[in-house]
Amino acid sequence: FEDFRRAELPSADSQSQLELEWGESLARRRRKRYNPSSSCWATTVVAVSTLATLAIASLVGLTLTKSPWLPVRGDPTEANEMGSLPLPTTTQVPSHLPSSRPSTPPTPGGSQAPSNMNSGVPSLTSSQLPSSATLATSKPTEVLKAPPAPIVFCIDEPGFFHNHAGDKVSCDWFQTVGTYNYEKNCKHTSLGNACLESCRDYNDCTPISAAPSEAPSSIPSVNSEVPSPSPSETPPSTITIGATADATIKESSPEANLGTASMLKLAGSPDSDGASEGAFHILLRFDLTKHDSLRTVKSAVLRLNSLKDCISGGSIQRTVSPHWHEDEISWMSAPEGSGEEISGFGQIKRGFWYEADVSEALRHGHQGLSLRIYPSGKEECFYRSKEDEDGPELRIVYE
């Protein structure tokens, strides 16, 4: 065993020789692999290549974003500039502006504008491209105006016209009523349309005294036409209103109109022998616009002037409708009474005024009062109509 061990193990000198040879070989390999000059050269090449690449990329990006050959997006001269100046390529970056480039961009419509930008898209000619200065300063030279409205003069037409209550009255009727009737009729009824002078506060008519080309500067107030009572004035304690319509209706002639007669006839039904002409009734209507319904009424009486003696002057009822016309009313179209007698006349003597209390017939807020007089017997009675100066009256007394 000892002989074998000595044969296998090298001697000390041999081991030292091996270690020396191995170390030199290792050193040569390390020197060959880690040569300082070769490593520095490679690092330099990489750095220079990187810098060159970054410089080229920066110049290309700057050229694409700031190049004077490329127009700013949205600029109206884009078509002209793109057609008149060449686009730079990525392989050659100019270091300065070309000397042939104009100092200012060409304006639209110049000689450098191309005929078209693309073969598939039609181009706009120079005359079709308005300049920005033209767009900014252009204004319409003339403004169309509507033709002037025709001039309507303030004139009251003569004659009689229907008001809101159905009465046929003239333009003078406005001077006997209050503001409420102006608002109901002006520009709304045939009376209001015909009486432009009376309704001048409610329409756009031109006074005759004004020049035809001038329009009224302002609409006068209602108070200038219908003055209200001053605090110092005391309202009247009694007012008398004349009948605005009256008529006699005849049973034997149911379609006859007797509204324009100068007298009013009242008579009962005929006897069995037919000696009488038939029944005659009387219709009366009064305009209550002058009546102040806010005041307390002490009495309201109907006054008739008699033309003939008779035993009984008739019974009075309020009609169910106040809308009827004097020149059209007949027995067939006359409104019936309410069926409740509110007053009546006793024995009548010719040439005297007779009164009957009709206060129960007044209604708060009503603008008219319509009455029908029925005969109390077969005897004839006659009264003066409104066509006479002593026609029917309604007298209202306030507390």
CATH assignment of the domain containing 247:
2.60.120
C-beta of residue 395 within 8 angstroms of C-beta of residue 301: yes
Give the number of other Cβ atoms within 10 Å of residue 27's Cβ.
Answer: 10
Alpha-carbon span 299 to 301, nearest angstrom:
6
Structure tokens at 248: 């006699």
58 and 51 Cβ atoms separated by less than 8 Å: no
Lowest mean per-residue pLDDT among 43-47, 77-81, 158-162, 253-257: 77-81
Predicted confidence at residue 250, as pLDDT, reads 93
More confident residue, 264 or 71: 264
Residues 6+ apart with CB under 8 A from 126: 108, 109, 110, 113
Locate 382 and state its tokens. Answer: 């006659």
Evaluate whether residue 144 is within a structural domain.
no
**Euclidean distance between CA atoms 372 and 331, whole angstroms:** 12
185 is a domain residue:
yes
What pLDDT is attached to residue 110? 45
Is 243 inside a domain boundary? yes
Residues 351 and 271 in one domain: yes
Is residue 323, in this structure, part of any structural domain at all?
A: yes
Least confident of 218-227, 281-290, 296-305, 354-363: 218-227
What is the average pLDDT value for the chain, to the nearest integer? 74
Give the count of domains, the chain.
2
Find the domain containing 326 and state its range. 238-398
Residues 64-118 have pLDDT tens digits of: 766 555 454 545 444 444 444 454 444 454 544 444 454 454 544 444 444 444 4
Q: What is the pLDDT of residue 183?
A: 83
Tokens coding 331 = 């027995």
- Tell how strand 381-384 and strand 337-345 pair up: unpaired
Whether 119 is in a domain gets the answer no
3-state SS assignment for residue 301: strand
Same domain? 314 vs 166 = no
Q: Which residues pair with 249 in a beta bridge?
A: 281
CA distance 380 to 313: 9
Instruction: Determine, yes or no, domain membership for 370.
Output: yes
**Across 11-23, average pLDDT:** 66
Q: Is 217 left (phi over 0), alpha (psi -120 to 50) or beta?
A: alpha
pLDDT digits (tens, 9 = 90+) for 134-152: 444 455 555 566 566 667 7
Who has greater pLDDT, 236 or 87?
236
Token pair 């004659």 in the structure block, residue: 159
The answer to whether position 377 is within a domain reads yes
- Of 142, 173, 195, the residue at which a domain comes to its end is 195
pLDDT in tens, 163-197: 888 888 888 888 777 777 888 888 889 888 889 88
In a domain, 255, yes or no: yes
Report whether 191 contacts 161 (CB < 8 A): yes
- Determine whether 359 is exposed, middle or buried from the number of CB atoms within 10 Å of its CB (0-12, 13-18, 19+): middle
Question: Which tokens sit at 50?
Answer: 């990187």
Q: What angle is formed at CA 391 by the lines to CA 385 and CA 393, rounded to 5 degrees? A: 125
The confidence band for 207, taking pLDDT boundaries of 50, 70 and 90, is confident
Question: What local confidence, expressed as pLDDT, does residue 227 receive?
Answer: 56
